Amino acid sequence: MPLKTGTFTLAAALTGATAMLSAGAATAQQASPTLDAVRARGEVACGVIGSSFGFSLPDSQGVMQGMDADSCRAVAAAVLGDANAVRWVPLVPAQRLTALQTGEIDVLYAQLTWTMSRETDSGVQMASTNYFDGTGFLVPTSLGVASATELDGANVCSIQGPGEVTARDYFTSQGMSFTPVLFAEGEELRAAFLAGRCDVYMIDQSALISFRASLGDNAANYTVLPEIISAEPLSGAVRKGDPLWFDIVRYAHIAQVNAENLGITAENVDSFGAESSPAIRRFLGMDGTLGQALGLQSSWAHDIVAQVGNYGEMWQRHFGRTGADRGANRLARDGGLQYPYPMR
């Protein structure tokens, strides 16, 4: 009997300790210095390139437009209920990680490729991939080149850093030589390419398609070659050590993908009522505690879709007019990689 009593007492003690630890963990999960800072200042500080058509570029009214800009707006809508509560911090590629590491920005959406070294060496964490991309080539049509395998001896314009490695790997694997012409930021690179300083403009294919489309009547003078030579999952990033903020940024994107999968759009988001499916009711905050789990209002996902749109709407707004194939950025049900991770 004493043994049984002792065993029961130990089990009870362990159960109680586990419950206390779980409660403590739950409380700790709700603490987020970044979320607190964002709410205190009333805006999300978002790092973007700020000069990239289709991702982040001010329009004629000075309003930042693009996939990365809208991904930041989705975070602001979720956290503050206002998609326009964003302070834009334009960055050249070499500044991106530093701005995040030093706390200058809260979230980074700046055409940043999710790589192992960035997550293991830089103190940052990739939260979501808002555009699956790959490195491609743009050449003057007058060059008479139809394939990247014909670029032996070319002068290749690219951004300093990972682009150099990608170019070297590709040309070496093809037994070709090339001369790198490197730049710190995109505007300088594009100007050099248009001025004829290099034969090839090499960067993510989405950027090439968007740049070519921006040339208007001169677009026909340039050709995007068919090869994609690398996997470039362009992703939002946050500082490590703030798990709740990481979850918020990740699920802001996942919410947009789920909305498209569920058929919820900016136009119809307010038309769903009590007769809606359980998944839609949970998504819109009518049932369940999804918002509470993130430290947000129950309407957080509704606010994202109402103010920014679902993922497909966002993609169409910024890339539909370019004639680009949505490709890997289709929903998983349509053969793409944008997967609606369950929100339940």
Q: What tens digit of pLDDT does each residue of 224-276 get? A: 999 999 999 999 999 999 999 999 999 999 999 999 999 999 999 999 998 89
Number of domains comprising the chain: 1
Neighbouring residues of 61: CB distance < 8 A, sequence distance ≥ 6: none
> Is there a domain that residue 210 lies in?
yes
> Is there a domain that residue 188 lies in?
yes
Phi, psi of 40 (to 5 degrees): -65, -40
DSSP 211-259: HHHHTGGGGGGEEE-S---S-EEEEEEEETT-HHHHHHHHHHHHHHHHH
> Is there a domain that residue 220 lies in?
yes
The share of the chain scoring above pLDDT 90, in percent, equals 81
Kindly calculate the radius of gyration of the chain based on its CA atoms and give it in whole angstroms: 23
Residue the block writes with tokens 């670029």? 151
| Confidence (pTM) | 0.84
**Cα–Cα distance measured from residue 296 to residue 124, given in angstroms and rounded to the nearest whole number:** 23
pLDDT of residue 186: 82
Q: Which of 75-79, 115-119, 213-217 has the highest mean pLDDT?
A: 75-79
Strands 107-113 and 232-239: antiparallel
> Is there a domain that residue 269 lies in?
no
Q: What tens digit of pLDDT does each residue of 16-57 get? A: 443 333 333 334 456 899 999 999 999 999 999 998 889 999
Return mean pLDDT, the chain. 91
Q: What tens digit of pLDDT does each residue of 179-196 get? A: 999 998 888 999 999 999
**Cα–Cα distance measured from residue 23 to residue 107, given in angstroms and rounded to the nearest whole number:** 28
Which of 122, 130, 121, 125 is CA-nearest to residue 97?
A: 122
> Is there a domain that residue 40 lies in?
no
> Is there a domain that residue 208 lies in?
yes
pLDDT at 13 exceeding the cut of 80: no
67-80 helix and 300-307 helix, angle to the nearest 10 degrees: 140
**Cα–Cα distance measured from residue 305 to residue 120, given in angstroms and rounded to the nearest whole number:** 33
> Is there a domain that residue 209 lies in?
yes
pLDDT of residue 185: 80
> Is there a domain that residue 245 lies in?
no
pLDDT of residue 30: 67
pLDDT of residue 10: 35
Between 8-12, 34-38, 144-148, the lowest mean confidence (pLDDT) is in: 8-12
pLDDT of residue 5: 38
* Rounded average pLDDT over 318-331: 91
Domain range enclosing 219? 134-231
CATH of the domain at 207: 3.40.190.10
What CA–CA distances, in Å, run from 52 to 18, 39, 67, 93, 264?
A: 50, 29, 10, 12, 28
